Amino acid sequence: MFTPKYPRPDMAPPPAATAPTAHTPVPITPAPVVPAAAASHRPVVQLTPGSALALAAGGGAVVLVVGAVLVSLLLAVAVTGVSVAVVAVVLRLLVNDLHKGR
């Protein structure tokens, strides 16, 4: 089942070998002219007013969602920075109180 299936070998006799001559000229033929590529047969996308409106609305929704995510990430970074600054001020006050010996 999993063994490869090879085609049967051709039963024609091998071609007769010709003895090389002193010089056999090879005719030079010009390369065939290749016609230009035909036009693509892909379907052309035609936007109707309704589909253009839907595309614009979808693009606007994507922009709003990406904007909201980026603003929330920026807000998270800002809140984290403020909280670290407050903790630094509190620790500085505690260390200064320890050094004064109170």
Q: What is the pTM of this model?
A: 0.46
b/e 16-48 (16+ beta carbons within 10 angstroms → b): eeeeeeeeeeeeeeeeeeeeeeeeeeeeeeeee
Read off the pLDDT of each residue in 7-19 and give the average, rounded to a whole number. 67
Give 83's pLDDT tier (boundaries 50, 70, 90). very high
